Amino acid sequence: MSRRTVVVGGVAGGMSAATRLRRLDEQREIVVLERGEHVSFAACGLPYHVGGTIPERETLLLQTPEQLRERFALDVRTRHEVIEIDRERREIHVRDMRTDERYVERYDELVLATGASPVRPTLPGGERAHVLRDLDDLDQIMAALEGRPRTAVVVGGGFVGLELAENLFAAGLKVTLVEAGEHVLPPLDRELAVLVAEHLEAHGVTVRTGMTATSLGPDDVLLEGHRDGLHVEERVPGELVVLAVGVRPESGLARAAGLELDDRGGVLVDAQQRTSDPAIFAVGDAATKRDAVTGEPVLVPLAQTANRHGRLVADVIAGREVRSRPVLGTAVVGVLGLTAAAVGWSEERLRAAGRPVRAIHTHPLHHTGFYPGAQTIALKLLVDPRTDEILGAQGVGRDGVDKRIDVIATAMRAGLRASELADLELAYAPQYGAAKDPVVMLGMIADNLAAGLTETVQWHELDAELAAGATLVDVRGADEVAAEPLPGAMHLPLDELRARHTQIPAGRVVVSCAAGQRGHTAARLLRELGYEDVANLDGGFRTWSAGQRSLRPALVEVTAGG
Amino acid sequence: MSRRTVVVGGVAGGMSAATRLRRLDEQREIVVLERGEHVSFAACGLPYHVGGTIPERETLLLQTPEQLRERFALDVRTRHEVIEIDRERREIHVRDMRTDERYVERYDELVLATGASPVRPTLPGGERAHVLRDLDDLDQIMAALEGRPRTAVVVGGGFVGLELAENLFAAGLKVTLVEAGEHVLPPLDRELAVLVAEHLEAHGVTVRTGMTATSLGPDDVLLEGHRDGLHVEERVPGELVVLAVGVRPESGLARAAGLELDDRGGVLVDAQQRTSDPAIFAVGDAATKRDAVTGEPVLVPLAQTANRHGRLVADVIAGREVRSRPVLGTAVVGVLGLTAAAVGWSEERLRAAGRPVRAIHTHPLHHTGFYPGAQTIALKLLVDPRTDEILGAQGVGRDGVDKRIDVIATAMRAGLRASELADLELAYAPQYGAAKDPVVMLGMIADNLAAGLTETVQWHELDAELAAGATLVDVRGADEVAAEPLPGAMHLPLDELRARHTQIPAGRVVVSCAAGQRGHTAARLLRELGYEDVANLDGGFRTWSAGQRSLRPALVEVTAGG
C-alpha cells in the first residue's frame, strides 16, 4: 500500500504542499480536499475585481482541479468537507457537499491548511454586511454593486480594509472607512498611519478612527465612540457595508481532534509545522507561526507565509531536514497612489510589551532631488538600543517604499544590526535612489545613536522635555519657520548657530529642523561647542507635526451626547 | 596649533569626509582644495541635462563653497590645484589656478579624493570627441548641441554610455552606440545584456558590438571589427561623438609622492582607507577598494562607495574604530524605459577567473500576473556551488528590477546563502510582487540545486550536451513549440509526460520549457520515474533564445574586406 498524504484546504498553503510533495515523490497518493468551489484562487486579488482593476473574474482562478490532476496527479476534490479526524486510526471522515455522501479516508500524513474565516461581529442589522474572503463573498459584493449603491462603509482600517476602501471608491461609491483603534493600519505607528488617513481624506474618502460600528440601518451605519471623554454617535451613509475586522483561524476540526491550539485558536506547530500529533501538520492562516521578535507563537495570516510553509511541510514529509524561520510579518498596501508597508514590530507594540526601543524617523526623497519627480517617503526604523538589533520598520510614500521595506526585511532576516544598514551597497542611479540611499541613511543615524554621537527625542516626548525645562531651538530657515512654526521654540538658523549659540540658555537643549538632518548637524555642533546635554528632535518638524495631527481624531460631523 | 586636515578634491568622497569630520570635531582646521570650478555637483545627473530631463543646469550644483563655509566652517578653495606632496614635512604645494600663485599648506592628515578622469583613446580626428565627467564637459556638449547635430556616436556601451545614448536620443539625435566588447553592459552576462541592446535597437538606436572606433571623420566615425573571421569596416554618422570608455584614477599626485598604487593606478588603501603613508588617506574613484568576491584590490568608481568611504575616513581621523567593507559594485542603469542592474560578479567574469559557478536564470513577472501591467524580468543569480555563497546577480526588465537587485545586494552584504533567499519575507500585495517573490523563487531553485533535487544545464552548454548524445525534451505546449521551436528537441508536453515518457530513449535527458519552471517539474517527474540522468535547461527557451541572439553580432550595414 503506497503512502498517502491528505491535505485539507486547497488554496495557498495546502496547494503549495501538495504540488511540492508531488515533485518530491511520484509514488505517494496525494488527496486534496477543499470545502469551497475553487482551489488556488487569487485571494489577494479579490478587492481589485470590486474596483474593476481586475476586470475579469476568471483572472482570479489560477488553477483548476483538472489541471492539477493532469500536471501533478493530485486527487483534488472540491466541495468536500472534512468533518472529523480520527487520529487513532489515522482516518478522516469526509462529506461530499454536493451529494451529502459521507466516507472515510486513510492518511499517513494529514496537512491542515484550513485557513481562516472573517470575524463577523454581532451587530443589529449586521446580516446585510458583506465580508470578502473568497469568491462567494466576491460574487455577493458584485451582485450588490449591480443595485448601484451610492455609499459604502468599510468597517476595519487594516490592510484589507484599505484595499476595500480604495476599490469601492474606484467603483464610484462615496466611502466611509471606520477603524475602532486610534489610527488606521494598526501595524504602523500613528504618526505614519496618519499620512494614509490624510491621503484617503484628500481623495474624498471619509475616515473615522476611534469609532465602532454598533448597528446597521437599512442604508446607514451607526458609529459610536468617545471624543474628549464624551460619548459621541454618528450616522454615516452605507448602502453597502463590508466588514474587514480581521480573521480567525479555521481550527474547529483541529480542536475537535484534540490538537493543541493557542489562546487565539491557532493550531500550534513546531518548526517543522508539526502539530501536537506527529502525523498531522498545519500551515497557513490556521496555524501559528513563531514571531521573529519574541519567538512566541503568533498568528500572521499572509499568503507568502502560507506558501512557504506549505513547501516546507512537503519537504518534511519527504524526509528533508528543514525548519521554518520565525516570521517578520512583512506587509504592504497600496491605496489611491500611496504605498504603506511595514515589517516587524511597531514602536507602539514594542512599548506596550515593555521592550526598550530606539525609534528613527526620516523623510528622504525616494530618488535624488535633482532628478525630476522625487517624492518624499516617511520612513521609520525600530531598534533595540541594547543590541542594535532591528526590530521593525515602516514606510509611507508614493514610490520606492516597498523596496526600502524589502531591503530592511532582508537585513532583519539575515540578522544585520541597524548600524550595518549604513554599509549596504544599493543600486544607485538618479532615477532609482540616492548615493546615500534612504536605508543607508537610517543605518548612519543608527550608527550615530549607537556610538553615542547624538541623542534624539521622539515627537511624543517633546512636551515632557519642555515641561522639564529644556530649551527648544528651531534651526530651520526663517521662511520655513514662518510657514510652519514649531510652538515653544527659539529660532536660530543652523548657519548662524556658530555665531549666535551663546543666546541659548544653560541646561538641556533640544534642537529641531525640518526632517532631522540639519538638527543632527546642529546637535553635533553644540556638543562640540561644550553643551553637554543636547538632543535632536527625531524626524524634525515633519515627524512632530504628523504625530500632532495623529492625536486629533477626525471631526465627527453629527454628534450627540449619550 | 590646532590639528589640520586637508582634503584634495571636493565632490563625493572628499566632501563627505570634510562635512562628517566637521560634525565630529569643531576645533579642527579643515581645508578642501578643488581643482575644478565647483564642489559637490551632481556628477550622476550630468547625462540627464543633455537629454533635457533635468532642464536647469543649476539643479546639478548641490552646494557652494560659501554654503559649506557657513554651515560646516570648511575652508573650501576651488580652482586650487595641489602640485606636490611633501610627505617628510607633511606639507602640500598648492597652485591657485586663477592667479598662478603658489603656496604651501601644512597638514596633519591628508585625504586624497582626486577622483578619476575619462579615458581618451588616441584616435585620428579624436580631438573633436567629447567626454562627460564634469560641468565643463557638460557645457561643451551643450554648446555642441546648439549647432543642431543630427547624428551622434557614443563610444562605450557601459553604464555611462547607455545613459548618454538614452539622452542624446531624447535630445532628438540619431544615435549609434559602439561597444568594443562582445556585448553592451560588461558587468552583465551576454544573454541579459542582449535584452538591453535589443531594446535600444527597437527604439531606433543603432548598436554595434565587437566594433572599435578607429578614427573620426568630420561628421562620421570609422568602426572596425571582425565578423566570421573577416575584418570589417563601417562608417557610422556622428556629427557629435562622445567617448564613454571608462575612467582611470587621478593618482598622479600620489604616484609622484611615492605612495603605493595598484597596477591600474589606483591608490592602495587598507580597510581604514589609509595609504602606504599613515598620514595620508584616499577615497573615491582614485582609491582601490577590496572586492567582495576575492578580497583583492579593485577599482569601483561609484558615487555611493565614495560617499561611504569619505564618511569612514572622517571617523578614522576622529579616532573611531571603524573599517570599510569589501565592495559588491552594485549598479543600475535606466535606458528608454528599461532597467538593468547588477551586483557582484558575472558568470563570464567568474568563469574567466576559473571560479566554480552555478548560474540560475528566471523570467518572473515583476508582480502577480492577475494584476494588470505585469512585466517580465530576466533575473540571474550566480552561486558558488561548493558553499552556496551568492557571488552575483543581474536583472533586466521594465519594473521592479532595482528592488530585486537591492534585496540580493543586502543578502550578499549580510552573508546569506543562496538557498536562504527562499526564506525572505518580502512585502507582498498584488501590485508590488508575488506571494513567491522573484527573489524567493531564485532561493527555492538554489535550494533545489544545493540539495541535489535537480540539475541544470546552461544555455551555452546545450550544444555540447546534444553532441554527447543527450535527448532534449521540450515540455511546453504545442502552440508554444509551434511559435518558437527549440531545435533538436522532441516534444512531450508536461501534462502528457506521465503517460508518454516511455517514448524517451535511454540515457541522458535534458528537459526544457519556456522559462524553467515546468522543466523543473518535468525533471523531477522523470527522476521519480526512474530516469537517472536528467537535467533541466536553466531558464528554459527564453534564456536559451536570448543567449543565441547574443551570439549574433549586430549586422554591419556597410562592410568591406580588409
**Chain B residue closest in CA terms to A55:** B372
| CB pair distance less than 8 Å for B327 and A425 | yes
**Chain A residue closest in CA terms to B327:** A425
| CB pair distance less than 8 Å for A428 and B372 | no
- Mean pLDDT score, A102-128: 97
pLDDT at A556 (0 to 100): 53
| A337-450 CATH | 3.50.50.60
pLDDT at A227 (0 to 100): 87
Looking at 3.90.1150.50, 3.30.710.10, 3.50.50.60, 3.40.50.850, the CATH number of the domain A4-117+247-317 comes to: 3.50.50.60
Of A71, A327, A413, the CB nearest to B495: A71
**How many CB pairs lie under 8 A apart between chains A and B?**
232
Query: Which residues of chain A are within 8 Å of residue B316 when distances are taken between CB atoms?
Result: none
| CB pair distance less than 8 Å for A71 and B341 | no
Query: Which residues of chain A are within 8 Å of residue B161 when distances are taken between CB atoms?
Result: none
Please identify which residue in the block is written with the cell numbers 535527448. B471
Q: Is the pLDDT of residue A189 over 90?
A: yes
pLDDT at A562 (0 to 100): 38
Q: Is the pLDDT of residue A370 over 60?
A: yes
Strand ranges in A161-238 using DSSP code E only, listed in sequence order: 174-179, 206-209, 211-216, 220-227, 230-237
pLDDT at A558 (0 to 100): 45
| Confidence band of A553 (pLDDT split at 50, 70, 90) | low
- Mean pLDDT score, A217-245: 96
Percent helix, strand and coil across chain B, each rounded to 5?
A: 35, 25, 40
- Mean pLDDT score, B195-204: 98
Angle at A174 between CA A170 and CA A175, to 5 degrees: 85
| Confidence band of A561 (pLDDT split at 50, 70, 90) | very low
pLDDT digits (tens, 9 = 90+) for B239-275: 999 999 999 999 999 999 999 999 999 999 999 999 9
Portion of chain B with pLDDT greater than 90, in percent: 95
Residues A18, A318: contact at Cβ < 8 Å?
no
Of A53, A334, A371, the CB nearest to B429: A334
In angstroms, the CA A237 to CA A491 distance is 47
Q: Is the pLDDT of residue B320 over 70?
A: yes
pLDDT higher at A39 or B279: B279
Q: Is this complex scored with an ipTM above 0.90?
A: yes
- Mean pLDDT score, B40-67: 94
pLDDT at B556 (0 to 100): 52
pLDDT at B62 (0 to 100): 86
Q: Is the pLDDT of residue B465 over 90?
A: yes
| CB pair distance less than 8 Å for B414 and A409 | no
- Mean pLDDT score, A513-522: 98
Of A410, A430, A453, the CB nearest to B407: A410
- Collapse the DSSP code of A227 into the 3-class scheme (helix H, G, I; strand E, B; otherwise coil) and give the result: strand
| CB pair distance less than 8 Å for B304 and A426 | yes
| CB pair distance less than 8 Å for A27 and B528 | yes
In angstroms, the CA B137 to CA B107 distance is 32
Q: What is the DSSP letter of A450?
A: H
Quote the mean pLDDT of chain B. 96
* Amino acid code (one letter) for A304: Q
**Chain A residue closest in CA terms to B427:** A331
In angstroms, the CA B120 to CA B138 distance is 16
| CB pair distance less than 8 Å for A307 and B48 | no
Q: Read off the C-alpha cell for B316.
A: 578614522
For β-strands A377-383 and A390-397, DSSP reports them as antiparallel
**Chain A residue closest in CA terms to B24:** A524
Of A327, A334, A426, the CB nearest to B431: A334
Please identify which residue in the block is written with the cell numbers 525609534. A359
CA B440 to chain centroid, in Å, comes to: 23
Catalytic residues of B: 513
pLDDT digits (tens, 9 = 90+) for B95-108: 999 999 999 999 99
Fold of the domain built from segment(s) B339-448: FAD/NAD(P)-binding domain (3.50.50)
- Mean pLDDT score, B352-358: 97
Does B4-117+247-317 match B126-245 in CATH topology? Answer: yes
Catalytic hit among A513, A515, A535, A537: A513
| CB pair distance less than 8 Å for B406 and A428 | no
- Mean pLDDT score, A70-80: 97
Min Cα distance A425 → chain B (Å) is: 6
pLDDT at A361 (0 to 100): 98
| B456-550 CATH | 3.40.250.10
- Mean pLDDT score, A327-349: 98
| Confidence band of B227 (pLDDT split at 50, 70, 90) | confident
- Mean pLDDT score, A285-303: 94
**Chain A residue closest in CA terms to B422:** A308
Min Cα distance A369 → chain B (Å) is: 9
Min Cα distance A502 → chain B (Å) is: 16
| CB pair distance less than 8 Å for A26 and B528 | yes
Q: Read off the C-alpha cell for A462.
A: 517633546
CA B267 to chain centroid, in Å, comes to: 22
Min Cα distance B396 → chain A (Å) is: 13
Query: Model pTM?
Result: 0.97
In angstroms, the CA B217 to CA B213 distance is 11
- Mean pLDDT score, A239-249: 97
| CB pair distance less than 8 Å for B405 and A413 | no
Query: Which residues of chain B are within 8 Å of residue A27 when distances are taken between CB atoms?
Result: 528
B126-245, superfamily in CATH?
FAD/NAD(P)-binding domain (3.50.50.60)
Quote the mean pLDDT of chain A. 96
**Chain B residue closest in CA terms to A23:** B524
In angstroms, the CA B299 to CA B247 distance is 10
Q: What is the 3-state secondary structure (H, E, C) of A133-172?
A: CCHHHHHHHHHHHHCCCCEEEEECCCHHHHHHHHHHHHCC
pLDDT digits (tens, 9 = 90+) for A424-468: 999 999 999 999 999 999 999 999 999 999 999 999 999 999 999
Q: Is the pLDDT of residue A62 over 90?
A: no
Query: Which residues of chain B are within 8 Å of residue A305 when distances are taken between CB atoms?
Result: 425
In angstroms, the CA A366 to CA A359 distance is 20
In angstroms, the CA B76 to CA B65 distance is 6
Query: Which residues of chain B are within 8 Å of residue A330 when distances are taken between CB atoms?
Result: 425-428
- The ranges assigned to domains in chain A are 4-117+247-317, 126-245, 337-450, 456-550
| CB pair distance less than 8 Å for A414 and B410 | yes
Please identify which residue in the block is written with the cell numbers 474587514. A244
Strand ranges in A250-303 using DSSP code E only, listed in sequence order: 280-282, 289-290, 297-298
